[in-house]
Structure 1
């Protein structure tokens, strides 16, 4: 950052709340505001040390006596899809994919509502209304896209929206902020995995070395899918280190 744009950020800590991943645990977050001409550079710098973005805030876990949440990223150049992933790529190769400016639509919001109701009925996002969703998508101080996944168009009419991902573009990769998809589409099973695969291949084509997948908790079934994209790295006290797993 240039001296003119840089201001050392002020950090704040949230009050403890029940952990959504580990029963009996509480979570606490440290966060700072992203604003001004240096917001993008600050977001990237913080992302490399484990922060995530939500609207105009960068945050990471700061829990007492717990370090279970670990940042994870896929190394795009070395990534090779396994047999299951190759079949998934082939099965969904007819989807029409477009990178849209971060502008919310009723179609996106309706799809996310169906996704949350089916996959995260007790989650904190279930109470979001259309205005909350618009804020999530549109309030961004960095380069952000909504990647849309649609059924093939017919006679020039766009096909149904079956998946979407709010994605930040950084100088070192793509950061998947939040993805959602049609959870009941029998003909498109594995859409969540396909969206990640598409991001890895998209980043590699753009010569971006990483895809940031957010936080992973070893042993948490809800997070298990994140280590199926190999090779991957996790953030440790000694820096980014390989994720060693047989779950691939």
Structure 2
């Protein structure tokens, strides 16, 4: 196992924050020449690192600590009444795990999702190159989780399978099926899958108190937040 102290990291120049208007962000990246080892990734995930494409990163802003890593300890999770309804509502979906390789089916769904839900964000307009760089990977632990209704693709959860948990990289879904709450269902499915695999947690990325788009993460309890280098449970 590689000692984390021997790893090299690089910080970006300040750039406009994707989550908080008017703020500047700095991102810390693992040296891209470092082979993407699943054990290194697992260790870094406990320190708040995430994957984008073939890169591991973490916010490294000097004057802001708003991005707080969040995870769900799956053995202690109990679905609330609303979440049980979401599970029941989507019980007719079939799930398939595939390699995260390019397909027109996946890209078409991603295109509709970004145009409908994130036209005001820095991922708009979507493109094949952006989709490929962001979500496709030949890394052995990367997965696309497909959710289909009678063969029709409704949602894809991009997920990494690590020794210490699942890491929910990104989810995109058909905006025409908003009543199904597909984004929330994908999280609930991954919680169940992590528990089935005997893993500790589902890593959800960052929670930001003043970002409305991040507020959904606190609906999963207990939720653990990485504060002052310690995972602290919010029950």
Structure-2-length-normalised TM-score: 0.93
Higher mean C-alpha deviation, range 108-117 or range 122-131:
122-131
- The SS at the match of 1:178 is strand
Higher mean C-alpha deviation, range 11-20 or range 225-234:
11-20
Give distance in 2, aligned partners of 1:107 and 1:238: 40
CA contact (8 A) 1:39 1:142 kept: no
The alignment status of 1:216 with 2:214, answered yes or no, reads no
Give distance in 1, aligned partners of 2:138 and 2:26: 23
Superposition deviation, residue 221 in structure 1: 1.3
Higher-Rg structure is: 1
Where does structure 2 lack aligned partners over 5 or more consecutive residues? none
After superposition, the CA RMSD in angstroms is 1.9
Quote the residue 1:91 is aligned against.
89
CA contact (8 A) 2:74 2:195 kept: yes
Where does structure 1 lack aligned partners over 5 or more consecutive residues? 153-158
Structure-1-length-normalised TM-score: 0.88
Quote the residue 1:155 is aligned against.
none
CA contact (8 A) 2:11 2:29 kept: yes
Give distance in 2, aligned partners of 1:46 and 1:192: 25
The alignment status of 1:242 with 2:233, answered yes or no, reads yes
The alignment status of 1:33 with 2:31, answered yes or no, reads yes
Superposition deviation, residue 14 in structure 1: 0.8
Quote the residue 2:124 is aligned against.
126
Superposition deviation, residue 35 in structure 1: 5.5
CA contact (8 A) 2:168 2:204 kept: yes
Higher mean C-alpha deviation, range 87-96 or range 129-138:
129-138
- The SS at the match of 2:72 is strand
Structure 1 pair 89/32, CA: closer, same or farther in 2 (3 Å)?
same
Higher mean C-alpha deviation, range 45-54 or range 121-130:
121-130
